[in-house]
């Protein structure tokens, strides 16, 4: 029996694979096009479908990194920033000092980033259109990388972690906030909502049902916390841990690049 027949998908997968995508390049192109398409309705759909929990998750995550955010010289990069709400939650903890370094907000969807850029314009935040797997950022130059609900969409998780490891300074931190598939009764209720109700509602709001069928499929495929923590450690990080949010339906991965 082959490995592919004995292991569940979330243990095999090394990256997102939207339906029809057979290679990393086609997966990335598909994801980029999908977010360009849903960008105009993304914020509305997000707040509605998460019943406003998205805001509390961004706020809670930003609070965790307050010590590093408070240092004016800290270089902070919000990866897969999309329309920018996680970035804005981080920004609220930045000092007002004129010498404070700008937050770098990265996304490869032009349409998502354009909406983020409108929110960033009055603030010390620089939008950068770039692929998370090929960041235009120097080695060992960043103190904190966050990513909210974006990392799961990368075409190769190991390559994504390697890229984060490359740009972080020794002692730099990652904060990856993403959806999770809970177990037990919560998992059953979650599946009922996430796999039947959410795709219909999301499809209605966005006019792009495929994007909201991809969402539960991508969470199903995303490694569970023990496997994801293993990947993080294998990428060279230490102090890796996961904090469950809202009954395990989401959670925050934190880790530090070895000094
Ligand atoms: C679900 S949205 C999350 C946006 C925002 N962080 C939030 O919390 O609302 C995922 C974002 O990840 C971006 N993304 C996915 N793969 C990417 C990649 N390889 N490089 C850069 N951005 C990527 C998408 O374009 C999209 O804007």
pLDDT at 2 (0 to 100): 43
Cα separation, 103 vs 124, in Å, equals 7
Helix (H) or strand (E) holding 26: helix 24-49
Q: Which two tokens stand for residue 163?
A: 């890229």
pLDDT tens by residue, 48-102: 998 899 999 999 999 999 999 999 999 999 999 999 999 999 999 999 988 999 9
pLDDT higher than 60, residue 1: no
Cα separation, 27 vs 153, in Å, equals 9
Share of the chain above pLDDT 90, in %: 87
Atom of ligand 1 nearest to the CA of 86: 8
pLDDT higher than 90, residue 237: yes
Task: State the average pLDDT over residues 117-142.
Answer: 98
Tell me, using a 6 A CB cutoff, whether residue 211 lines ligand 1: no
- The DSSP output letter for 175 is E
- Which homologous superfamily is 23-257 in? Vaccinia Virus protein VP39 (3.40.50.150)
pLDDT band for 168, please (50, 70, 90 cuts).
very high
pLDDT at 122 (0 to 100): 96
Give the Å distance between the CA of 186 and the centre of ligand 1: 26
Nearest CA to 220 among 242, 187, 245?
187
Give the Å distance between the CA of 150 and the centre of ligand 1: 4
What are the distances in angstroms from CA 47 to CA 204, 205, 215?
15, 12, 15
pLDDT higher than 60, residue 12: no
Task: State the average pLDDT over residues 142-153.
Answer: 98
pLDDT higher than 80, residue 7: no
Give the Å distance between the CA of 258 and the centre of ligand 1: 26
Tell me, using a 6 A CB cutoff, whether residue 132 lines ligand 1: yes
Atom of ligand 1 nearest to the CA of 36: 25
Helix (H) or strand (E) holding 221: helix 209-221
pTM for the model? 0.94
pLDDT at 194 (0 to 100): 86
pLDDT band for 9, please (50, 70, 90 cuts).
low
Average pLDDT, the chain: 94
Give the Å distance between the CA of 176 and the centre of ligand 1: 12
Task: State the average pLDDT over residues 148-174.
Answer: 98
- The DSSP output letter for 194 is I
Atom of ligand 1 nearest to the CA of 42: 9
Sign of the CA dihedral with 28 first, then 129, 38, and 89 last: positive
Cα separation, 169 vs 165, in Å, equals 8
């Amino acid at each position: 029996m082959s490995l592919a027949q004995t292991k569940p998908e979330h243990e095999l997968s090394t990256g997102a694979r939207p339906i029809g995508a057979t290679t990393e390049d086609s997966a990335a192109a598909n994801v980029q096009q999908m977010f360009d398409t849903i960008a105009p309705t993304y914020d509305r759909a997000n707040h509605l479908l998460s019943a406003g929990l998205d805001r509390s998750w961004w706020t809670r995550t930003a609070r965790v990194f307050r010590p590093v955010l408070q240092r004016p010289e800290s270089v902070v990069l919000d990866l897969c920033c999309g329309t920018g709400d996680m970035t804005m939650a981080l920004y609220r903890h930045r000092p007002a000092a004129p010498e404070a370094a700008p937050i770098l907000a990265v996304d490869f969807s032009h349409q998502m980033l354009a909406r983020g850029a409108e929110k960033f314009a009055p603030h010390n935040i620089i939008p950068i259109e770039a692929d998370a797997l090929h960041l235009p950022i120097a080695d060992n130059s960043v103190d904190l990388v966050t990513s909210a609900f974006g990392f799961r969409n990368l075409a190769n998780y190991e390559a994504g972690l390697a890229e984060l490891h490359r740009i972080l300074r020794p002692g730099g931190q990652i904060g990856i906030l993403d959806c999770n598939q809970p177990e037990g009764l919560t998992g059953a209720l979650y599946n009922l909502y996430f796999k039947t109700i959410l795709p219909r509602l999301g499809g209605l709001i966005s006019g792009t049902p495929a994007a909201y069928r991809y969402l539960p499929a991508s969470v199903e495929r995303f490694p569970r916390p023990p496997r994801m923590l293993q990947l993080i450690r294998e990428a060279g990080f230490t102090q890796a841990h996961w904090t469950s949010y809202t009954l395990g339906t989401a959670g925050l991965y934190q880790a530090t690049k070895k000094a």
